[in-house]
Structure 1
Amino acid sequence: MSFDGSFSPPASLRRLLNRCPALLSDPTLSSLHQNCNSCSELVLDDLVEALADPFLHPEYTIPIVGCFRPVCERIASRATDKLRAAESLNSDNDTSIEDEIGEDTRVLDFYLRRGRGLSGSVPST
C-alpha cells in the first residue's frame, strides 16, 4: 500500500495512539487497538470507519494523515460521506469547534446530539 510496501495498519494504529493517547477513549479505536495486539491483521475497512470521525477533529487530522498516509484518501472519503449523511451542517454560531468539543473524538455525533450543525457546509456531488 505504501511506496515501499511497508504500511502496516496495526503498527500505524499503535503509532497514532502513542501520539494521541486521548483517542483511546474512543471505544471503537480502543477495541481495534486491543484486537490488533492479539493478532497480526487488522481489518482495514473497520479502521477506516473508526478513523473517519476523529479525522474531522482539528487535533487529530494531521496525526491521522501522518500515520495513515497510504489510506488517507479512504479515511477522508468516509468522513465526507458521514458529513453528507448528516441532516444539518450549517451553524450560525461563531464558537469554534475547538472551544466546544474538547476531547470528544466523534465530532459529527457531538454536534448532532446537541441539535447543532457544523460551521460551513459540504459541497454536494
Structure 2
Amino acid sequence: MPDTADSGSATLARLRRELARGTAELAVLSILGTGRRYGYDLMKTLQQAGEGVLEIKEGTLYPLLHRLEDAGHITAVWEADGRARPRKYYAITPSGRDHLRLLRTEWSGLVNGMRDLLDALEEEAT
C-alpha cells in the first residue's frame, strides 16, 4: 500500500503543474507587462516569483511564447550584446495588454468565486 504522504506529495506536485500550465499565459503576459525579457529570464522570474508554484519548463514556455506571438500579443526580436550569444527578447503589444486585462478580470472572477464557494462550504460544515 502506498504511503499517503508520498501520494499526497505526488498529487500536490501534479496539481501545481496543472495550475502552472493553466495560468502560464496570464503569468507571462503579466511579466512582459513590466518590460521586455528573454526566455530564460522569464523562466527564472516565474520560478522566483511563484515560489516554485509557477515553475514552467522550456517545453511549455517556448510553445506558449510562439502562440502569443502568432496571436499578436507579443513581439520578438533577436539581439546580440557585444560578444554574447544573441538572445530573443519578447515584449508585450497593445493587443497583448488588452488580452492581459481580460485574463486578469477572468482570473479575479475565478479566485473570488472559489473563495466564496470554499467559505460557504466551510460555514456549512461548522
TM-score (normalised: structure 2): 0.30
User: Which has the larger strand fraction?
Assistant: 2
Q: Which structure has the greater CA radius of gyration? A: 2
